[in-house]
Amino acid sequence: MNFDILIIGSGPGGYVAAIRAAQLGFKTAVVEKESLGGVCLNWGCIPTKSLLKSAQVYDYIQHAAEYGIALNGEAKPEFKNVIKRSREAANGMSKGVQFLFRKNKVEVIPVQENSLIIKRLR
């Protein structure tokens, strides 16, 4: 393996840096031990925003009469589907990072927590 640039982690800073480096003609790789996109995209910001949006929609429904909208029946959250929507949003964005890596010829080097490369970085 021979690279001009090796980036550790594919979070918001890592994947942008990798794509730009590849666009500038550098042979680029990203070392990643989890899903592409990092914590923010997969478990933090994006899934949280999806959950907050579902809560907001539910709140709007609860106060529909204040907006002049009459609803018949009870609205109730289906948490399984709320979580499913959240995961789909994160997975879709992670696949988007994967697509951009392929398009720009950025190589992904997956590693395990106990791998030699992780031990050497500590």
Q: What is the pLDDT of residues 56-65, one digit of tens each?
A: 999 999 999 9
pLDDT at 117 (0 to 100): 59
Tally of structural domains, the chain = 1
Q: Which domain holds residue 68?
A: 5-121
Q: Compute CA 44 distance to the chain's CA centroid, rounded to the nearest angstrom.
A: 8
Which amino acid belongs to residue 1? M
End-to-end alpha-carbon separation of the chain, Å?
Answer: 21
Q: In what order do the strands lie in the sheet with 107-110?
A: 5-8, 28-32, 107-110
Q: What is the pLDDT of residues 78-121, one digit of tens each?
A: 999 999 999 999 999 999 999 999 999 999 999 876 666 555 55
Q: What is the pLDDT of residues 4-48, one digit of tens each?
A: 999 999 999 999 999 999 999 999 999 999 999 999 999 999 999
More confident residue, 73 or 120: 73
CATH number at residue 16: 3.50.50.60
